[in-house]
Amino acid sequence: MDFNTTLSHSMASYPDLLDFAAQQYPELSRLEKLWWAHYEYWDNNILATGIITFLAHEIIYFSRCLPWIIADALPSIFMKYKIQDQKPPPSVAEQWACTKYILLIHFVIELPLIVLFHPMMEFCGLSFSTPFPDWRPLTAQIITFFLVEDAYHYWLHRAMHWGPLYRSVHRIHHQYAAPFGLTAEYASPWETLFLGFGTIGPPLVLGLLGYDVHLATVLAWVALRQFQAIDAHSGYDFPWSLRRIVPFWGGADWHDDHHRYFWGNYSSSFKHWDVLMGTVAGPEAREKRRAERAKAQN
Ligand SMILES: [Zn+2]
Ligand SMILES: [Zn+2]
């Protein structure tokens, strides 16, 4: 159902609205009732979408980083799972410096874009009313977003390793040769904008193409994409890591090699683009490139 149509908002507190939703819309799930009450409470769709989106981004980012911060603080337990184990874990000062920069990017770059998201979303035909979409189109759309983002990320990230673009844009992200969870979004504002479009663009384009895309699907997709990016930068590889179950999944082992060798493994989630284009990073690729450079100089 649509929002902002049923109540006089001068009296409505959040619990009142939840009670109202429970009486009027018993068919809705608990989460859908909360969603409905949230939009009614704020009585301003731009603000309501902005608050949900920004809070979800912050809570998911820092809560997903927390296990990796704990792992870095307990090297006696977790060092054996560290990929670059010849280097000490990041210090508290390094983690704090990274956190401050991430917060700056989130508030100065991402927050204004998040405020603009609701008008963009409506322009592209996305919906945000209750009930939420069925899990089947939601899953199919999220798989599509993963594949499209991965291809977009591969080519743009590869382009960012071209000298002038690397020096002016991408170098900040490579400040840490041994990444840790918090470094997932440690990047220049331009990189945040351009690579971030790979995450936020596909749902908008799918909406423009006439498909029924819901904001809840977008939020679920962005949460999973944050999980992927943070885990890929964690610096830890466990016997139960996803890449050991899904062979074409990149994971931390894959992206760690990108930071270690400054070349190859340009994709975000999967391995197929790097395998197809001959850009798999590692010691063999490094030796091959050295031999090619030596041959070219002779
Ligand atoms: Zn890179
Ligand atoms: Zn990275």
- Rounded distance from Cα 160 to ligand 1 centre (Å): 7
- Rounded distance from Cα 188 to ligand 1 centre (Å): 12
| pLDDT for 3 | 64
**In contact, 260 and 236? CB cutoff 8 Å:** no
Q: What is the pLDDT of residues 107-147, one digit of tens each?
A: 999 999 999 999 999 999 999 999 999 999 999 999 999 99
What's the pTM? 0.92
- Rounded distance from Cα 23 to ligand 1 centre (Å): 53
**Token couple for 98:** 């990274």
| pLDDT for 97 | 95
- Rounded distance from Cα 126 to ligand 1 centre (Å): 32
- Rounded distance from Cα 266 to ligand 2 centre (Å): 9
Residues 6+ apart with CB under 8 A from 254: 232, 243, 265, 271
- Rounded distance from Cα 153 to ligand 2 centre (Å): 11
**Token couple for 288:** 């091959």
| pLDDT for 7 | 57
- Rounded distance from Cα 236 to ligand 2 centre (Å): 14
- Rounded distance from Cα 102 to ligand 2 centre (Å): 14
Give the C-alpha separation, 176 to 172, whole Å.
9
CB-CB neighbours of 220 under 10 Å: 19
- Rounded distance from Cα 182 to ligand 1 centre (Å): 16
Q: What is the pLDDT of residues 65-115, one digit of tens each?
A: 999 999 999 999 999 999 988 888 899 999 999 999 999 999 999 999 999
| Ligand found nearest the CA of 154 | 1
- Rounded distance from Cα 96 to ligand 1 centre (Å): 22
- Rounded distance from Cα 187 to ligand 2 centre (Å): 9
- Rounded distance from Cα 270 to ligand 1 centre (Å): 15
- Rounded distance from Cα 141 to ligand 2 centre (Å): 25
In the chain, which residues have pLDDT < 70? 1-11
| Ligand found nearest the CA of 235 | 2
| pLDDT for 171 | 96
Cα–Cα distance list, 295 to 25, 220, 287, 291, 292 (Å): 73, 50, 12, 6, 5
- Rounded distance from Cα 195 to ligand 1 centre (Å): 11
- Rounded distance from Cα 57 to ligand 2 centre (Å): 18
Residues 6+ apart with CB under 8 A from 112: none
